[in-house]
Each structure stands twice: as C-alpha cells, then as structure tokens.
Amino acid sequence: MFDSDLGTDEGSVVRRRVFLVTSASALAGAVLWSLRRPNLVQAKPEEVTIVEFSDSGERLKTVHVPKLVKTDEEWHKQLSRGVFAITRQADTELAYSGEYWNLHEKGLYRCICCDNALFTSGTKFDSGTGWPSFWAPIARENVRTTRDASLGMVRTAVSCTECDAHLGHVFDDGPEPTGLRYCMNSASLKFVARQVTGISSK
Ligand SMILES: [Zn+2]
C-alpha cells in the first residue's frame, strides 16, 4: 500500500526531483552568499582615531571614524594632477614653489583630501627649506609616520591618519621643544585663516 503511494506515480517523482534541484541551487546560493560575506566584512575600511578641531583651532573631541578610502579614479575627480601625484603617489613639490612655505598668517592647516586638521600656525617656523615646516602636528593622532626607503635614503614619511594622504617627511633637526621638523608639501594642505571673533552684536 505504501509502496504504491510513494514510488509508482511518475508525476510525483518528477515533482520531487524538481523540488530537490531547486533546493540544491538555493542551498548553493546560500553557501556562496555565506562565503562572500566574510570578504565584505574584511573590505570594510579600518577604523581610525582622530581629534577634531574647529576652524578657529579649538580642540573639539576625539572620534573613531572609518578610514576614508577612495579609488584613484575618485581621487582624480577631486584633486588636480599635481596634488594627486603628491598626496596619493608620494611625489614632492619643488622647494619654494608651494603656496604656504612663506605664509605667516594665523590659522589651521587641514588635509587637502579629507579636511582632517593637521597643523597650526602656532608650531610653524621658518626652516629655510622652501617647504612649510612645523615642529609638531596639531594632534599626534591626526598624522601617521612610516619608514620610507625610497630615493636611496631612509626617511620618515608623514601621512594623514584619516585618508592616508602623503604629506611630507619628518626630520630630527627641528627647533625646541620637540627638535622635530615636519617638512610638508603645501599641496597636501589647505589653510584656514583664523576667524577674528569677539565682535558681538549683543
Ligand atoms: Zn586626509
């Protein structure tokens, strides 16, 4: 009785096969999906810690943000060819050619790529090199240093923590109190003049 119910009906066998095939592809899809998931997770940008500053140079708060990651194509749309070569390919501008080596105005220097605050006029000094030079970053969290063995010498490269933009190099022949010289490319920076405040309508 049971035998005839289960095995002899052609239609039910075919239907069962179709069901099995469908289930198998659904299962394969699920397996593929689950295999891909970890890659998606790994592709998430690294989280970095930076200190935010207002345009007037006031230290606001320490934040954890995803690192800003863009393709070369996206950076090209945002940056001029020269700025792209310096910030994304670690090129160096010619000495005395940049916008800021001789700037003495009070203000803040942000990253040209992502607006992360990097330096202030308060630590800028005249190094005589033709590049804007600072004895300290605005916050140690906001820049990163890496070993750079290019061009037949060993130097310490400085980059933006938030977007990895190449900024320049740091040397140990700077003035007190740190003895450091952050030798930057003007092209990597965007100067924000300090707003004159204190005039109140009240
Ligand atoms: Zn940046």
What's the CA-to-centroid distance between 116 and ligand 1, angstroms?
A: 5
Least confident of 27-41, 53-67, 73-87, 111-125: 27-41
Catalytic residues: 183
Q: Supply the mean pLDDT for the chain.
A: 86
Amino acid residing at 165: A
- Find the mean pLDDT for residues 64-82: 97
pTM, full prediction: 0.76
- Separation of alpha carbons 112 and 131, rounded Å: 16
pLDDT of residue 2: 44
pLDDT score of 40 more than 60: no
Please answer whether residues 183 and 131 qualify as being in contact, where contact means their C-beta atoms are separated by less than 8 angstroms. Answer: yes
pLDDT of residue 200: 47
pLDDT of residue 38: 52
Written as six digits, the tokens of 118 are: 């990097």
Written as six digits, the tokens of 198 are: 């204190």
Higher pLDDT, 87 or 19: 87
- Find the mean pLDDT for residues 4-27: 50
- Separation of alpha carbons 79 and 194, rounded Å: 24
What's the CA-to-centroid distance between 163 and ligand 1, angstroms?
A: 4
Strands, DSSP E only, in 54-154? 59-66, 107-111, 117-120, 124-125, 133-134, 143-148
- Find the mean pLDDT for residues 40-64: 89
- Separation of alpha carbons 82 and 73, rounded Å: 15
- How far from chain centre, in Å, is Cα 164? 4
- Find the mean pLDDT for residues 35-59: 80
What's the CA-to-centroid distance between 60 and ligand 1, angstroms?
A: 18
Q: Half-sphere exposure of residue 27, counting CA atoms within 13 Å on the CB side? A: 6
Higher pLDDT, 20 or 146: 146
What Rg do the C-alpha atoms of the chain give, in angstroms?
28
What's the CA-to-centroid distance between 136 and ligand 1, angstroms?
A: 17
Given pLDDT bands bounded at 50, 70 and 90, which one contains residue 3?
A: very low
Written as six digits, the tokens of 11 are: 């239609």
pLDDT score of 165 more than 90: yes
Amino acid residing at 74: E
